[in-house]
Amino acid sequence: MAVDFAKGPVWKNIVRQAIPLTIAQMVQILYNIVDRIYIGHLPGAGGLALTGIGLTFPIVTTVSAFTGLFGQGGMPLFSIERGAGNEKKAKEIMRNSAFLLITTAVILTALLMVFKRPVLFAFGASEDTFVYANEYLNIYIIGTIFSMLSVGMNGYVSAQGFPRIGMLTVIIGAFCNIILDPILIFGFGMGVSGAAIATVISQFISALWVIKFLVGKKSLIKLDFIGFKPDAEICGNISALGMSNFIMAASNAAVQIACNTTLSRYGGDLYVGIMTVLNSIREIFTLVTMGIMYGAQPVMGYDYGAKKYDRVRQGIKFSATLATVYTLIVWVIIIIFPETFIRIFNNEADILFYGSKAIRIYFFGFVFMALQFVGQSTFVALGRSKQAIFFSLLRKVIIVVPLTLILPEIGALGVWGVFLAEPISNVLGGSASFTTMMITVWRKLNVQTAEKRGKS
């Protein structure tokens, strides 16, 4: 049954969305995390193979960037139009979003097929690690279209008030990946190739599930292409709002490239492998915060479209409090038990020893990540694309990348300067994003609430 986000307690609407979305995020991450866990424990090659997979992160992240551009970019617009009662416009937004995802997936697949070798070496590959990265990527890029459709269109399921269906989209595919990974990697002795094949099959199943729902009877606004023509204005609006998600993901790719190349220069394959582990751990722990934010976005967007400004404020306050408490707890746990989380991915002595020091530096001030997410998510939910884009650029491109390149040269920090760049960016970028949101959005919502009460 669909939910009217303008009714009932705001926090319940957010939690109702956030719980299944968090589970979906958790399961989504398992697509790649499970691959890394198994690959990191391959007999005799775990460390190098894990490093090779880490070199593909910027490419995988770039695909995710385009998925966010056209998927997450359209979802807030879709929610706003639904809240305003404009279902015809909402449907056009969804159709144009699907068109953009499909077209981009085809183009990216072709480009990756042609340029993967020079790209991987530019990202910090050595002759030893390229073998594993290439083996994985050769198969993984075949599933680009499945990945983009399953993730990009799944948001339109949740935005219609069906978060459990959206959760199942991811759970079904990830469950297949978890089952297939050990069978193909170890049972059939396919190693890295087996991990990639399992992922592609799982992504295909996820895409099939979400598309089947959107064209089916239960969908309130159905996806079809009958008489469809791409609308330049709608595509432009989707791209403008999704640009913040794109830049955030693309800047993540830029950071990964900067980290891998700098670590390769100062520490070699060992530290690239450690960064692969740390990125994996960060993905695990940020998924709850992302689930909260993705759960809050359609609620706040719907209430904003329905001119329920006081409810939007309640949504911001609740999501900020929940995300801050959670990230503070995570920070403390990681500082106390660093080695426990590293062992999930690899047991080699060097990775455990140097990784334990690196993780304490990398996650220092993790609580400030919540401020970044809250500010960013609020700007996106209310259609403020320019602010969302700016703060995406600020934290990653303006702060992290330069620090990653500069800090290793300061005071003989070397590789530790690379890991230090992340917490500095969290403090500076997160504080700036949240403070600006409070000064601009929060104050305006106060004025709009007072004006509405005055008229009534």
Query: Would you list the DSSP string of 28-73?
Result: HHHHHHHHHHHHHT-TTTHHHHHHHHHHTHHHHHHHHHHHIIIIIT
CB atoms inside a 10 Å sphere around CB 125: 26
Is residue 3 in a domain? no
Residue linked to tokens 């330049």: 232
Q: If we measure between CA atoms, which residue out of 252, 302, 239 comes closest to residue 90?
A: 302
Most confident stretch, 231-245, 256-270, 292-306, 319-333: 319-333
pLDDT attached to residue 32: 66
Confirm whether 1 is domain-assigned. no
Please give the mean pLDDT across all residues of the chain. 87
Task: Quickly count: other Cβ atoms within 10 Å of residue 422's Cβ.
Answer: 24
Q: Which pLDDT belongs to residue 44?
A: 65
Structure tokens at 76: 């807030």
- Taking the chain, what is the end-to-end CA distance rounded to the nearest angstrom? 32
Q: Is residue 2 part of a domain?
A: no
pLDDT digits (tens, 9 = 90+) for 272-285: 889 989 988 998 88
Looking at the domain assignment, is residue 203 inside a domain?
yes
pLDDT, one tens digit per residue, over 110-139 is: 999 999 899 988 888 888 888 888 988 999
pLDDT tens digits, 382-417: 888 778 778 878 888 899 999 999 999 998 899 999
Tell me the per-residue pLDDT of 90-99, one tens digit each, with 9 for 90 and over. 899 999 999 9
104 has a pLDDT exceeding 90: yes
261 in a structural domain: yes
Q: Which amino acid is at 26?
A: M
Query: How far, in Å, CA of 228 to CA of 45, rounded?
Result: 50
Q: What is the per-residue pLDDT for 178?
A: 86
CA atoms of 296 and 311, how far apart (whole Å):
11
- Residue that the structure tokens 């009662």 belong to: 85
CA 20 to chain centre: 16
Rounded CA gap, 248 and 253, in Å? 9
User: From the CA atom positions of the chain, what is the Rg in Å?
Assistant: 22
Provide the pLDDT for residue 3.
Answer: 56
Number of domains the chain is built from? 1
Q: What is the pLDDT of residues 23-74, one digit of tens each?
A: 766 766 766 688 788 888 777 665 778 888 888 888 888 898 899 899 888 8
- Averaged pLDDT for residues 325-331: 95
- Residues in Cβ contact with 198 at an 8 Å cutoff, skipping those fewer than 6 apart: 35, 176, 177, 180, 181, 183, 184, 185
Residue 4 lies in a domain: no
- pLDDT band, residue 7 (cuts 50/70/90): confident
Per-residue pLDDT band at 162 (split at 50, 70, 90): confident
Question: Which range has the top average pLDDT, 173-177, 252-256, 304-308, 414-418?
Answer: 414-418
| Residue 65 to residue 62: CA distance in whole angstroms | 5
Closest CA to 155 of 58, 82, 263: 82
pLDDT of residue 111: 94
Distance (Å, whole) CA 375 – CA 50: 34
Residue 4's pLDDT is: 65
Instruction: Yes or no: say if 366 and 424 are a contact pair by the CB < 8 Å rule.
Output: no
Between residues 353 and 175, the one the model is more confident about: 353
Q: Does the pLDDT at position 179 exceed 80?
A: yes
Residue 34 is part of which domain span?
A: 10-455
**Residue 45 counted as domain residue:** yes
Confirm whether 194 is domain-assigned.
yes
Residue 312 Cα distances to 65, 78, 159, 220, 434, angstroms: 27, 17, 16, 24, 16
Query: What's the pLDDT score for residue 1?
Result: 45
Residue tagged 């001030």 (tokens): 365
Look at residue 46 in the predicted model and tell me its pLDDT.
58
Q: What is the pLDDT of residue 430?
A: 93
pTM for this entry: 0.73
